[in-house]
Amino acid sequence: MTRRRGGGGGGGWAGGFGGPEPDLTRRPGTGRKTLRLIAGFFAPYRVRLTFIGVLILITVSVGVVNPILLKLIIDNLLPGGPRDLGLLYFQTGLMIVLPIATSAVGVWQSYLSNVVGQRVMNDLRLALYTHLQRMPLRFFTETRTGEIQSRIANDVGGVQSVVTDTAASVLSNFATVATTIIAMLILDWRLTVLSLGLMPVFAYITFRVGKVRREVSTLTQRSMAEMSAITEESLSVSGILLSKTFGQQEASIERFRAESQRLGDLQVRGQMIGRWFFALIGTFFSIMPAFVYLLAGSLIIGGDTNVSIGTIVAFTTLQSRLFFPLGQLLNVQVEIQGALALFDRIFEYLEMEHEITDAPDAVDLSPGAMRGGVRFDHVSFRYPVAATQLEVAPEAAAAEAEGRAVPTAIQPFALTNITFNAEPGQLVALVGQSGSGKTTSTYLIPRLYDVDAGSVSIDGIDVRGIKLESLGRVVGFVTQETYLFHDSILANLRYAKPDATMEEIEVASRAAAMHERITELPDGYDTVVGERGYKLSGGEKQRVAIARVLLKDPRVLILDEATSALDTVSERLIQAALQRLMEGRTTIAIAHRLSTILRADQILVMSRGRILERGSHDELLRNEGLYAKLYHEQFVTEASG
């Protein structure tokens, strides 16, 4: 497996799926595509969004009335004005009623935008999780778990604030700016031009700042993913076992420290980007009224009748209204750039192909109607080559074609021309040295990988023509590495059959020679097995796994027998359990136990991805080939001992 440290972003996941790591400098077009994808997630909430927009427009337009009222009041009261008391009541009354009404509408609007925001986030998270569930096994063997977790947690979470807060504030600020500018223009166009002359410059600087922000945002998310991967790898049970037993804790801490510091630095950078720029805008807006007074004053002194004292006050008030939303709008542009970087990371996963999917005409199989015959017909398969190995791949392919020795770093074909037939109810044993392709062959049956040539079929139907879901029901696995959830034994068993009765569960556990042991546990079936079942011994875990598959009751059983040395008691218990498990099903067993091999209807001897010999135990022994050799090396001691 190839892993990339440092970069982290693509998670070492390359070779046809997500393509290369996302470019920090966006290519034209990709931005539009991201926006289109984002719009797709908002589309279902169109009506509500429009309503929110209307509410925002109402609050904002009402807000601009206040400064105008101010002008009217001042001009009413000034010497030379009408000094009308009734008018004053009306004007001040409006100044009281309007803010109350706007605040209420504002709260309502922010509630609605939060609801929509959270729904969109929920849709996004769910889409990501659902998509990842259907990704092929290959994706998971080539991507770090922490990286995946980080995209679901940190990236979706990072987008959240932008979606819930920013989207609404963009519209509100935009409307505020627009209405304010209109009001300013109505009051006096010369003062307006003076106040807004520098806006294009600000807009340009903001655009630049936004770009940098986006880059920093991408780096920050990568760093978070790296941290999450480090944590996941080093603080899991297996990780901590490894680091404790190798005395590598200092090194782990150092790795974490370095990444944590990097993240801290990046976040400071992210926070500080554009701070000087916003300070500049702030200063500008503080100074601006002086210029307004200067120009307006000169106009009044010069005898301009269009400008009154009321105009000056209203104008500077309007101007101060502009500062906050404009600053925010400029900032929002920066924030949106950051969020787009997160969206890119999410969409990068969402756009990966599933590779192994149901054919349009795939059939549904009911396990009851299956006989469970398995056939491999001239099957060849190679593991997809990761991008990092691509450079060497052509050379390896050439070597293979010319019949030269293939460089050992790459094995172009994990399986070559495999043909065999497992009749319903038969036991087929696969034997061969480690790395000969036994496990790989079994992975092709439930389509964990697809064949490159030839076909695998169950009851005469090509597995690629069977719905994946029903394939999952028909085929059962007991593997070397037993995976249990951090939950009770009962819950782990029910995973195979959610509606299993307690009686069925006990029958299965008894058959798996595990019932007695479970009843001895402190909480019986409710005992929590611990992270990945670490509270159980290897043999016990395997027996739970056997009971789980017994409950599932698949037609085709695949056994990857544990090579781990179990004590004789466990060994005997597991053998008995396995025997009961195999009864009445087609079994393909990767056999390390002599007892399984002796009972096999057919033994396939594999070497370097090919079937070298096949037959019964006696036939193969008489052959005096690879099997005889393996038998003498591996099993004679076991048989005599």
> What residues make contact with ligand ADP under the rule CB under 6 A?
141, 383, 411, 414, 432, 434-440
Buried/exposed code over 256-283 (b: 16+ C-beta within 10 A; e: otherwise): beebeebbeebeeebeebbeebbeebee
What is the closest distance, in whole angstroms, from the C-beta atom of residue 172 to ligand ADP in the complex?
52
Q: Which does 383 bind (CB under 5 to 8 A by kind): ligand ADP, Mg ion, none?
A: ligand ADP
Q: Which does 314 bind (CB under 5 to 8 A by kind): ligand ADP, Mg ion, none?
A: none
Pairing of strands 453-458, 374-381: antiparallel
What is the closest distance, in whole angstroms, from the C-beta atom of residue 411 to ligand ADP in the complex?
5
Nearer to ligand ADP, 459 or 561 (CB): 561
The CA R_g of the chain, rounded to the nearest whole Å, is 35
Nearer to ligand ADP, 16 or 44 (CB): 16
Binding to Mg ion (CB under 5 A): which residues in 499-528? none
Nearer to ligand ADP, 432 or 554 (CB): 432
Contact yes or no for 310/71 (Cβ under 8 A): yes
Candidate list 439, 455, 537, 623; residue touching Mg ion; CB under 5 A: 439
Amino acid at 377: D
Q: E strands within 18-77? A: none
What is the closest distance, in whole angstroms, from the C-beta atom of residue 432 to ligand ADP in the complex?
6
Q: What are the angstrom distances between the C-alpha of 194 and each of 118, 191, 289, 293, 399?
A: 42, 5, 10, 11, 76
What is the closest distance, in whole angstroms, from the C-beta atom of residue 433 to Mg ion in the complex?
10
What is the closest distance, in whole angstroms, from the C-beta atom of residue 526 to ligand ADP in the complex?
36
What is the closest distance, in whole angstroms, from the C-beta atom of residue 3 to ligand ADP in the complex?
12
Nearer to ligand ADP, 558 or 620 (CB): 558
What is the closest distance, in whole angstroms, from the C-beta atom of residue 19 to ligand ADP in the complex?
20
247 Ramachandran zone, left/alpha/beta (phi>0; psi -120 to 50): left
Residue 320 binds Mg ion, judged by CB under 5 A: no
Residue count, binding to Mg ion (CB under 5 A) = 1
Sorted by sequence, the CB contacts under 8 Å of residue 573 that are 6+ apart come out as: 513, 539, 543
DSSP run (H or E) holding 611:
strand 610-615
DSSP run (H or E) holding 206:
helix 199-234
Tokens 């120009």, located at residue:
295
Residue 607 binds Mg ion, judged by CB under 5 A: no
Nearer to Mg ion, 140 or 207 (CB): 140
Q: Which does 424 bind (CB under 5 to 8 A by kind): ligand ADP, Mg ion, none?
A: none
Contact yes or no for 457/377 (Cβ under 8 A): yes
Contact yes or no for 428/587 (Cβ under 8 A): yes
Nearer to ligand ADP, 440 or 482 (CB): 440
What sign does the CA torsion over 386, 388, 391, 396 have? negative
Q: Which does 136 bind (CB under 5 to 8 A by kind): Mg ion, ligand ADP, none?
A: none
Q: Which does 248 bind (CB under 5 to 8 A by kind): ligand ADP, Mg ion, none?
A: none
Binding segment (CB under 5 A) for Mg ion, from list 47-55, 342-350, 434-442, 465-473: 434-442
Binding segment (CB under 5 A) for Mg ion, from list 41-49, 213-221, 243-251, 433-441: 433-441
Q: Which does 435 bind (CB under 5 to 8 A by kind): ligand ADP, Mg ion, none?
A: ligand ADP
Q: Which does 61 bind (CB under 5 to 8 A by kind): ligand ADP, Mg ion, none?
A: none
Nearer to ligand ADP, 142 or 459 (CB): 142
What is the closest distance, in whole angstroms, from the C-beta atom of residue 584 to Mg ion in the complex?
25
Q: Which does 436 bind (CB under 5 to 8 A by kind): ligand ADP, Mg ion, none?
A: ligand ADP
Amino acid at 147: E
Q: Which does 316 bind (CB under 5 to 8 A by kind): Mg ion, ligand ADP, none?
A: none
What is the closest distance, in whole angstroms, from the C-beta atom of residue 18 to ligand ADP in the complex?
17
Nearer to Mg ion, 183 or 589 (CB): 589
Q: What are the angstrom distances between the C-alpha of 81 and each of 14, 88, 94, 188, 301?
A: 76, 12, 20, 20, 19
What is the closest distance, in whole angstroms, from the C-beta atom of residue 364 to ligand ADP in the complex?
29
Nearer to Mg ion, 30 or 439 (CB): 439
DSSP tag of 485:
-
Binding segment (CB under 5 A) for Mg ion, from list 55-63, 319-327, 383-391, 439-447: 439-447
Give the DSSP letter string of 523-542. Answer: TGGG-B--GGGTTS-HHHHH
Nearer to ligand ADP, 512 or 588 (CB): 588
Residue 586 and residue 555: Cα distance in Å, rounded?
6
What is the closest distance, in whole angstroms, from the C-beta atom of residue 593 to Mg ion in the complex?
14
CA neighbor of 379 nearest in space, from 434, 321, 443, 427: 443
CA angle, 122 then 128 then 133, to 5°: 125
Residue 275 and residue 216: Cα distance in Å, rounded?
15
What is the closest distance, in whole angstroms, from the C-beta atom of residue 28 to ligand ADP in the complex?
37
What is the closest distance, in whole angstroms, from the C-beta atom of residue 40 to ligand ADP in the complex?
33
Kindly report the three-state secondary structure assignment for every residue of 254-291. HHHHHHHHHHHHHHHHHHHCCHHHHHHHHHHHHHHHHH
Sorted by sequence, the CB contacts under 8 Å of residue 444 that are 6+ apart come out as: 376, 379, 381, 415, 450, 451, 456, 463
**HSE of 94 in the Cβ direction (CA atoms, 13 Å)?**
16
What is the closest distance, in whole angstroms, from the C-beta atom of residue 105 to ligand ADP in the complex?
58
Nearer to Mg ion, 439 or 575 (CB): 439
Q: Which does 389 bind (CB under 5 to 8 A by kind): Mg ion, ligand ADP, none?
A: none
Nearer to Mg ion, 284 or 483 (CB): 483
Binding segment (CB under 5 A) for Mg ion, from list 68-76, 331-339, 436-444, 498-506: 436-444
Nearer to Mg ion, 439 or 616 (CB): 439
Nearer to Mg ion, 332 or 574 (CB): 574
Contact yes or no for 105/59 (Cβ under 8 A): yes
Q: Which does 141 bind (CB under 5 to 8 A by kind): Mg ion, ligand ADP, none?
A: ligand ADP
Identify the burial level of 239 via C-beta atoms within 10 angstroms of its C-beta, where 0-12 means exposed, 13-18 middle and 19 or more buried: middle
**Contacts to Mg ion by CB under 5 A:** 439
